[in-house]
Amino acid sequence: MKIYRINMNDLSIKTEEVPREWNHLGGRALTSAIVAKEVDPTCHPLGAKNKLVFAPGLLTGTSAPNSGRMSFGAKSPLTGGIKESNSGGSASQKLAKLGVKAVIIEGLPAEDKFYNLHIDNNGIKIEQETELLGKGNYEVIDRLSKKYGDKIGVITIGQAGEYKLCSANISVKDYHGNIRSAGRGGLGAVMSSKKIKYITIDDTGAPGVTVANPEKFKEASRLLAKSLKEHPVTGQGLPTYGTNILVNILNEAGGLPTRNFRMGRFAGANKISGEAMYETILNRKGKPTHNCHAGCVISCSQVYHDAEGKFVTAGFEYETIWGFGAVCYVDDLDIIAQADRICDDIGIDTIETAVAIATAMEGGLIPFGDGQGMLNLLREIEKGSPLGRIIGNGAGFTGKAFGVTRVAVVKNQAIPAYDPRAVKGVGVTYATTPMGADHTAGYAVATNILQVGGHVNPLAKEGNVDLSRNLQIATAALDALGLCLFVAFSILDNPDAYQAIVELVNAQYNLNLTENDMTTMGQSVLHNELEFNKAAGFTAKDDQLPEFFNEQIPPHNTTWDFTTEELQQVFNA
């Protein structure tokens, strides 16, 4: 295995051996370790001192189920703290098969020119890019697939990235030619600051990943797959309805943030629910069930067509549908699908952008519920107009632009699709994760609402700090392995599945790790990240939800009532 280091100051490329301490790190564990070690925490996120790092997970490139995620890391231009954001798509597995442990992109080019990178079995090439500048991700992927063939792996930024907007994501092509996103924290702006428009990855002739004990690996793999197939969430709910199964569940639970977090239930929920979407997809001959990377046994993705049966978008997620739906008070799934498509194409985080638009609605720019106005705002982002730059820099930025105080952000990152007053465990995660408000960093919704891994009352404080802490640690470990977060549903209810994951790592690397070692790895990831943020100037004051969550949210009329001291208990691991 090797690390590629690309210095944009002089366009030089180095192949480095993997330092021993990083040998058994991957994914988020590796990106965060590299960022923590090599990036000055006080640097400007878009300046020469920041670095963009990406790394496949420890299990990526093998046949282990759901192990194909790639982590991207850097200092975030959105939060000002350390950031890891991971995505599906094919690039991660291809990189792993090419023996690439991580890619580090550092420095800034002296000249104002864009470049592309091509990674294959012969190494990396860097070339100036002019042709695809200003193009959206769909066109970039299409053109590169024509040039290199359908199987080419692509990592790219759209116009939002080129404008260095703080919500710009990094987009990754999947095996179907669709778009997967490392969405949160504006890492697309970091890629753009390094002047990289796209990276192509060709694994033709790649050596592939060595597994020390193939028999043991196969057995653990089979066990994990079986467990995922048997669990009601990963075996039935997600494959049928996608993540959007959550609209009805959260609405029922009173935790679906509606009209910029005013209510926990949305009158239009049934029109945008997973069940409604499933029917629509079937009627229009789309695909209700679809995967984001090879080896996925859940397949929570889908392909959504318009009324004429034409492709609109794939990977149409609950958080996106909530964002452009309930929080903006729009109940038209076709409009929301268009919003998702535009965001994928221009390369911008749907959660951040939807909450930014809800914030602009709060400020009176357009009315709540104005679906066409919402789409127009997305077109402004595509154009890079001043208004587009406001929205495209996220909810916090939009709030300042329009003098709005009701702005749902933590560490300047938009709060996702679960109201923290009605799902308190995930509220603790929003407040305390080093990532800024992020449901995936400690998905307490599982235990609060879905009753996976036991049950902790979502409306009370008791148990939710412990729940969030445990999940934050476990998630950091899963992110290190390159596993899809949804594997957690299975391991929370089935100790054998957790053991199978440990055995996958042991079988691949010839190790004797235990579950405790996984916990230690997760803790160590969080430790690196928290230390980085502290050195960047973060304090306990940053681990808070916005003031307005002291308002009661109907229907349960609960408020956010954790003290700073209570929240800081998350870090007593």
List residues near its own copies by CB under 8 A: 41-44, 46-47, 49, 77, 163-166, 189, 192-193, 385-387, 389-390, 393, 397, 400-403, 405, 535-542, 544, 546-547
Which lies closer to its own copies via its Cβ, residue 246 or residue 377? 377
Q: Residue 458 Cβ, how far from its own copies at the closest point, in Å?
A: 25
Q: Residue 77 Cβ, how far from its own copies at the closest point, in Å?
A: 8
Copy the structure tokens of residue 468. 């969030």
SS3 state at 200 = strand
Phi, psi of 171, rounded to the nearest 5 degrees: -105, 145
Q: Residue 245 Cβ, how far from its own copies at the closest point, in Å?
A: 35
Return the closest-CA partner of residue 479 out of 446, 510, 427, 521: 521
SS3 state at 120 = strand
Return the closest-CA partner of residue 188 out of 476, 393, 17: 393
Would you give the distance in Å from CA 542 to the centre of its chain?
21
The 8-class DSSP code of residue 570 comes to G
Which lies closer to its own copies via its Cβ, residue 547 or residue 561? 547
Which lies closer to its own copies via its Cβ, residue 285 or residue 541? 541
CA 468 – CA 528 distance, rounded (Å): 18
Question: How many other β-carbons are positioned within 10 Å of the β-carbon of residue 308?
Answer: 7
Return the closest-CA partner of residue 59 out of 210, 204, 176: 210
CA 24 – CA 18 distance, rounded (Å): 10
Return the closest-CA partner of residue 6 out of 108, 104, 113, 141: 104
Q: Which amino acid is at 451?
A: Q
Q: Residue 167 Cβ, how far from its own copies at the closest point, in Å?
A: 11
CA 357 – CA 260 distance, rounded (Å): 9
Q: Residue 323 Cβ, how far from its own copies at the closest point, in Å?
A: 21
Residue 263 bridge partners (DSSP)? 258
Q: Kindly provide the b/e burial profile for residues 435-448, where b requires at least 16 CB atoms within 10 angstroms of the residue's own CB.
A: bbbbbbbbbbbbbb
Question: How many other β-carbons are positioned within 10 Å of the β-carbon of residue 22?
Answer: 19
Contact 333, 280 (CB under 8 A): yes
Copy the structure tokens of residue 517. 């070692």
Which lies closer to its own copies via its Cβ, residue 192 or residue 273? 192
Residues 6+ apart with CB under 8 A from 323: 350, 351, 353, 354, 355, 358, 416, 417
Which lies closer to its own copies via its Cβ, residue 387 or residue 459? 387
